[in-house]
Amino acid sequence: MPELPEVETVVRGLRNLITGRTVSRVTQCAPPSSIVVSPAFGRRTFEAILRGRTIRSITRRGKNILIALSGDITLWAHLKMTGRFLHLDQSVPLDKHDLVSFDFASNGSDSSLHVRFNDYRRFGRLRVYPDHELWQQDGLRDLGPEPLEITAEEFVELCHRRSRQIKAALLDQSFLAGLGNIYADESLYYSRIHPKRLTGSISRKKLLELHGHIQYLLRLSIDSMGTSVNTYSGVNGKPGSFQSYLKAYNREGEPCERCGKGLTREKIGSRSAHYCRHCQRER
C-alpha cells in the first residue's frame, strides 16, 4: 500500500497539474463499491456532482488525498493497495483497470488535461462529500498526528501513554497517520528496536532516536518520489527510487548491513515485520 511519501508524491504531482483547472467531464467505469457519494447530494451521480467544478487545492492527511473543489465539496481518494492517478493523453486507449477518467478544460494558456484513476485490485476508493461532513467520516476523524509534524517530546509522550508493541503502534493510523510496513520496518531497523518491544519499555532516549529516524526516512523518501516495490508510480507514470535505500524491508534472508547475519521476516499480529534478530534484540 502506498504510504505517506508515495501519497505525498501523488499529491504534489496532482497539485502542480490540475490546481485551478475546471472538471469538464467525468467518465466512470468503476464498480459501485469503488465510489462513495454522500447522501447529501440526493440522486445526483458522481459524474454530475464533479462536472463544472474547479480544483481549489489538493492536500494530504495520512494516506488520504483530499481534492477541494468549488462549491465547498471535497473529492477524497484513498489509493489502498494499487490505486494510481495517471496523467495520460486522451488518445491512449482505456485500460480495463482505468476506473475513472477526468477531463479538465483548457485554462487559456494551456490545453485540456486528461487524468485517470487506475486500480487493478479495485480496493481504492473515491468519495465525494460536502466539506461540512468530511471530517466526520470514518477514516478521517480518528487519524493520529502527522509523523512529520509531531515533535520529539510529543512522540515520546504518545508512546508512553499506553504500552503496546511498537510495530503495531506505528501501523495504527489513529496513533500516527501515514506510516505503513515499509517505513515502520526501516525506522525500527535504523533505531535498533525490535518490532515486538513494548512502547512503555523503550527509553526516552531511544524514542527520540526513533522519532528522528522516522522523519529523516520519510523526507528522504519524498525526495526520492517514494518506494516502488510493486505497482506504485507518480502521476507522471515514473516509479520512485527509495527502494535502493531499503535496509530491512523486503530483504528477508539477505545479510544485515551492520552485522552480516541474515535478516528475518516474521508475522507479528496480522502484518509482516522485517528486522535483524542480532541488532534488534527483543529484550
Catalytically active residues, by annotation: 2-3, 63, 271
Q: What burial class does residue 230 get, using C-beta atoms within 10 Å of its C-beta: 0-12 exposed, 13-18 middle, 19+ buried? A: exposed
Q: Where are the beta strands (DSSP E) in 109-220?
A: 113-118, 125-130
Distance CA 78, CA 262 (A): 35
Of 207, 215, 214, nearest to 184 by C-alpha is 214
Residues 6+ apart with CB under 8 A from 252: 263, 264, 265, 274
Q: What is the CA radius of gyration of the chain?
A: 20
Of 195, 166, 170, nearest to 277 by C-alpha is 195
Distance CA 159, CA 223 (A): 28
User: What does DSSP assign to residue 278?
Assistant: T
Helix (H, G, I), strand (E, B) or coil at 99: strand
Contact call for residues 131 and 45 (beta carbons, < 8 A)? no
Contact call for residues 147 and 176 (beta carbons, < 8 A)? yes
